[in-house]
Amino acid sequence: MSHKLRRRNIADPIPAPGTETRSQTNIDATQSSLSAPSVALSVLIVSSLVISALFWLYTQVPPASANGYAVCSRFGQRVYTVDDGNSAVQCLVIRDEFIVDTGSLDDVSARWYAVNPSGLTLQIRYIDDESIVVPGLSDSHAHILEYGANQQLPLEGGKTINETVALVRDYIVEHPDVYLDRSMFIEGWGWDHTSWPIEEWPSADALDSDPVIRGRPVVLQSKDCHALWVSKMVLQQSGPFPIDVEGGVVVRDELGNPTGVLLDNAQQLVNKPIPTEADLRRRFAITAKDALSLGLTSIHDAGLQPISLQFFERQAAEGLLPIRIYGMRYFDEAGPYFGNISKPIVNAGNGRLNVRSVKIFADGALRSGGAALYEPYHDNPGTKGFMRLDEEVLREIVPRFLKDQWQVNVHAIGDYANSVVLDTFEAALKDVNVTALRPRLEHAQILREEDMIRVGRLGVIASVQPTHATSDMWYAEARLGPERVKGLYAFRSLLDHGARLALGSDFPVEDMNPLSGFYAAVTRLSPDGVSPGGPSGWFPEQCLSRVQALRGITIDAAYASFTEDTLGSITPGKRADFVVLSQDIMSISVDQILKSRVQATFIDGELVYGSL
């Protein structure tokens, strides 16, 4: 049931954050400066207003204003602050862009009145009785513009090679401009050969067997972003290809001819058109719209190419960023070292854009068999995967970036790759304070126990994606075997060894919805409640608690982006980023979590999605 606004008049605007102290001592001091009768009268007025507010109905919610407003629950403490004590309160109070107070309705009203003697209005907005408020949600590993591009031609619905080819053909037929221009470049995203009845690589021949597709330039990105499937036209336009590619593979047939699939670094050999400004704006708009509707207020973009970085800088300069972005600059081994000639971007666009980290790839992906392992793959004993970056380059470049005060975020999937990266972090300790620079393992999927211990000891952040676990659990044991698989997505073990987890989705690889990650983290179950380990979850001992999962998408994600002083929790002095959810995900049965919906998303105190 929805409820209309109740409002009370409670005095003057409170000072901006930093000009007053919210401690009870200062409040008491302010009150003690008043005469005893006036204090008694103030208490009487506040009490009276608390009662009368229940009867004042308004037909619309007034806009946020300098007068300030409070968001409250009627019954109980349903505002999850994610503060140091993980406390819950009845209300939060917002003035301008900041949270200025939290507590019970009576307490925040009294404090508002104590510091606002001129009689201006504190507006009260009530959430529905079943709803809760949480801090603005963050995704610690995602691909913003790629998500927007993916929505043009998504391919996850194709459960066989032929079905996927049919999706491409249907897209061409349904778009007359594409159909009539056979030279138009066609890009799709999301095919997954591990989900097909026969796990095999597709081919250019399969695409060109369809007369509508034949002769067109087609590039299809795999679900994990570690493989491209291209048409014959693209092979012709991009070739000839080298026999060996460091950190990648050009898949070939028995005669040595490229089949149309390129893995990891070999993907860079494919010639693709550069997106236009209109393309970038369209892609960004799609992503931002979906993200805000799902309660995301901050996104860590895991690998900004120069064109993407420049686009976001332009958007920030024009005040056109509707969401917060923490960017990781892409490291190009073939390009110049930029750590000592480029400056991090800090709080551009009124705090909406920060770029102070670099993203480096160590190895490939488990799904495509490119994750670098200590021992051979269980289902393919002829390979241990491979490093995408030469180990000597990794050992040289990581300390250089750290010395130049860049956060270093390294994609590492396999146990061997993770160990090598941790070696480089540990070696850098002799010259820099590694913990202070908060280096990150992006994915941190398979680790030996001794390396989990090192993650905690070194202060390395494990940036993990819980929905990867529930996607990969169906084939993971076949890849790794029954023993080694126990070290895969071992979230609780990482926490137990002192690591800090920042949770993300890797969208568009997985579902953007942060509640999908929350659910996967606390259940280790697929959305329909099943797993290879049964209804208790896949290796349920690795489940996170709900508090741990909520912190992973709020305050710990903020810590991973150096913004924990301004974001990540509902505490006075921080920016007013918060979300209203339709259900209490901290207490409802787990099978109801994914039925929860975002009712409202606020950034800097302004409603950017939904209603309240």
Q: Which residues contact 6 (CB under 8 A, 6 or more apart)?
A: 53, 54, 55, 56, 57, 58, 124, 126
337-362 tens-digit pLDDT: 999 999 999 999 999 999 999 999 99
CA geometry: angle 422, 517, 419, nearest 5 deg: 10
Own/partner contacts of 253-261, CB < 8 Å, gap of 24 or more, are: 258/204, 259/201, 259/203, 259/204, 259/205, 260/202, 260/203, 260/204, 260/205, 260/206, 260/207, 260/229, 260/230, 260/231, 260/232, 260/235, 261/201, 261/202, 261/203, 261/227, 261/228, 261/229, 261/230
pLDDT for position 7: 32
The answer to whether 303 touches 328, Cβ cutoff 8 Å, is: yes
Question: 165 and 62, same structural domain?
Answer: no
The answer to whether 422 touches 416, Cβ cutoff 8 Å, is: no
Q: What's the one-letter identity of residue 555? A: I
Question: Does 23 map to a domain?
Answer: yes
pLDDT for position 117: 64
Question: 15 and 73, same structural domain?
Answer: yes
Question: 121 and 160, same structural domain?
Answer: no
Tokens of 324: 């917060």
Question: 262 and 166, same structural domain?
Answer: yes
State the pLDDT confidence band at 114, using cuts at 50, 70 and 90.
confident
pLDDT for position 46: 37
Q: Which residues contact 276 (CB under 8 A, 6 or more apart)?
A: none
Query: Residue 390 and residue 361: Cα distance in Å, rounded?
Result: 10
The whole-number average pLDDT for the span 2-15 is 32
CA geometry: angle 398, 402, 408, nearest 5 deg: 65
pLDDT for position 28: 34
Question: Does 452 map to a domain?
Answer: no
Question: 131 and 14, same structural domain?
Answer: yes
User: Which among 215, 239, 238, 218 has a CA at the least distance from the CA of 229?
Assistant: 218
pLDDT for position 62: 37
pLDDT for position 435: 85
Question: 150 and 87, same structural domain?
Answer: no
Which 3 state secondary structure label does DSSP give 606? Answer: strand
How far is residue 345 from each of residues 202, 308, 330, 342, measured CA to CA in Å? 41, 14, 14, 9
Evaluate if residue 8 carries a pLDDT over 60. no
**Total structural domains in the chain?**
2
Residue, of 549 and 29, whose pLDDT is higher: 549
157-192 tens-digit pLDDT: 999 999 999 999 999 999 999 999 999 999 998 899
Read off the CATH number of the domain in which 157 is found: 3.10.310.70
Question: 10 and 38, same structural domain?
Answer: yes
Question: 131 and 148, same structural domain?
Answer: no
Q: 65-79, 94-108, 112-126, 152-166: which has the minimum mean pLDDT?
A: 112-126
Q: Final residue of a domain: which of 269, 293, 322?
A: 269
Question: 63 and 109, same structural domain?
Answer: yes
Query: Residue 256 and residue 563: Cα distance in Å, rounded?
Result: 51
Question: Does 464 map to a domain?
Answer: no
Dihedral through CA 557, CA 559, CA 565, CA 567, nearest 10? -10
The whole-number average pLDDT for the span 425-443 is 92
Spatial strand order in the sheet of 186-191:
186-191, 218-222, 227-230, 258-264, 248-252
Evaluate if residue 49 carries a pLDDT over 50. no
The whole-number average pLDDT for the span 108-129 is 86
On the question of a cis peptide bond just before residue 508, with omega within 30 degrees of 0, the verdict is yes
For the chain, give the percent of residues with pLDDT over 70: 89
Residue, of 378 and 51, whose pLDDT is higher: 378
Which 3 state secondary structure label does DSSP give 149? Answer: helix
Evaluate if residue 24 carries a pLDDT over 90. no
pLDDT for position 50: 34
The answer to whether 415 touches 357, Cβ cutoff 8 Å, is: no
Tokens of 456: 């905690």
Question: Does 466 map to a domain?
Answer: no
Which 3 state secondary structure label does DSSP give 83? Answer: coil
Question: 151 and 126, same structural domain?
Answer: no
pLDDT for position 341: 92
Instruction: Return the bridge partners of 217, or none.
Output: none
The whole-number average pLDDT for the span 368-391 is 95
pLDDT for position 247: 87
Evaluate if residue 152 carries a pLDDT over 50. yes
- Give the single-character DSSP code of 17: T
How far is residue 536 from each of residues 229, 301, 476, 486, 586, measured CA to CA in Å? 37, 33, 18, 16, 18
Dihedral through CA 365, CA 370, CA 372, CA 378, nearest 10? 100
Q: Model's pTM, two decimal places? A: 0.84
577-598 tens-digit pLDDT: 999 999 999 999 999 999 999 9
Q: Return the number of other C-beta atoms located less than 10 Å from residue 357's C-beta.
A: 25
Question: 46 and 75, same structural domain?
Answer: yes
Question: Does 121 map to a domain?
Answer: yes
On the question of a cis peptide bond just before residue 240, with omega within 30 degrees of 0, the verdict is yes
Evaluate if residue 382 carries a pLDDT over 80. yes
Question: Does 245 map to a domain?
Answer: yes
Q: Final residue of a domain: which of 246, 269, 292?
A: 269
Evaluate if residue 559 carries a pLDDT over 80. yes
Question: Does 307 map to a domain?
Answer: no
Question: 100 and 26, same structural domain?
Answer: yes
Rounded mean pLDDT of the chain? 89
Q: 206-210, 396-400, 426-430: which has the minimum mean pLDDT?
A: 426-430
Containing structural domain, residue 32: 6-135
Q: Final residue of a domain: which of 269, 295, 325?
A: 269
User: 164-197 burial string, b = 16+ CB within 10 Å, else e?
Assistant: bbbbbeebbeeeeebeeeeeebbbbbbbbbbbbe
Question: Does 316 map to a domain?
Answer: no
